[in-house]
Chain A
């Protein structure tokens, strides 16, 4: 149980285009989803937290207009990198939790999406 998928697993795009990454909880209802960014050989940095049906809460320094997050259902959250530039190239990882439904606050992670912006 507790499987989280991400799509795509990798993407290469041209500078200026927008890229959408999907995060799905396959066998549980994820009331809370998290988006992280990881640079090579570094730790995970939390970008934003989203609760189903409400606006995402962004961490300090993360541009909300640049990284659009939509948590439209209990099993799907999307991250859209708008007008991507080479400095947005990174490994993006989502996680999901059943926290708001009284479930444990254990986080389950997706496999990640490697974004390369040319």
Chain B
């Protein structure tokens, strides 16, 4: 099956710093989503981005499907950005299935 690798696994930032999270996947996919899981466990949709670039406030994402990777950029980080960021890819081959990466655990210090 499709393998999803996220890096770095852990990241500590000073408030105000910028960061880039990476997601590599091993095969062609039909969709890709980035999520933020808050300390209470809720998964929050950040981007639905099977290809191209999107921006939403301080966050932006780019997916290069032909090279099988996606990047999530966080600018001017805030303490509320802390949590786990997951990349999840979807494939319609053999039935619709979503595979999650292991996540990047982010802690933003005040």
List A residues at the B interface (Cβ < 8 Å).
Answer: 2, 32, 34, 38, 41-46, 49, 57, 91, 93, 95, 97, 99, 104-109, 111-112, 114
Contact B48–A34 (Cβ < 8 Å):
no
Q: Which residues of A contact B101 (CB under 8 A)?
A: 43
Identify which of A46, A108, A111 contacts B98 (C-beta below 8 A): A46
**Whole-angstrom distance from the CB of A28 to the nearest CB of chain B?**
13
List B residues at the A interface (Cβ < 8 Å).
Answer: 30-31, 33, 35, 40-43, 45, 48, 86, 88, 90, 92, 95-103, 105
In terms of DSSP, what is the predominant structure of the interface of chain A?
strand
Q: Which residues of B contact A46 (CB under 8 A)?
A: 97-100
Q: Which residues of B contact A104 (CB under 8 A)?
A: 31, 48
Contact B95–A109 (Cβ < 8 Å):
no
- Known pairs A104-B48, A108-B45; A44 contacts B30 (CB<8 A): no
- Known pairs A43-B86, A91-B41, A111-B41; A105 contacts B95 (CB<8 A): no
> Can you list 24 A-B pairs with a CB-CB distance of less than 8 A?
A32-B96, A34-B98, A41-B105, A43-B86, A43-B100, A43-B101, A43-B103, A44-B43, A46-B99, A46-B100, A49-B95, A57-B95, A91-B41, A95-B98, A104-B48, A105-B90, A105-B92, A105-B96, A106-B48, A107-B88, A109-B35, A109-B43, A109-B45, A112-B41
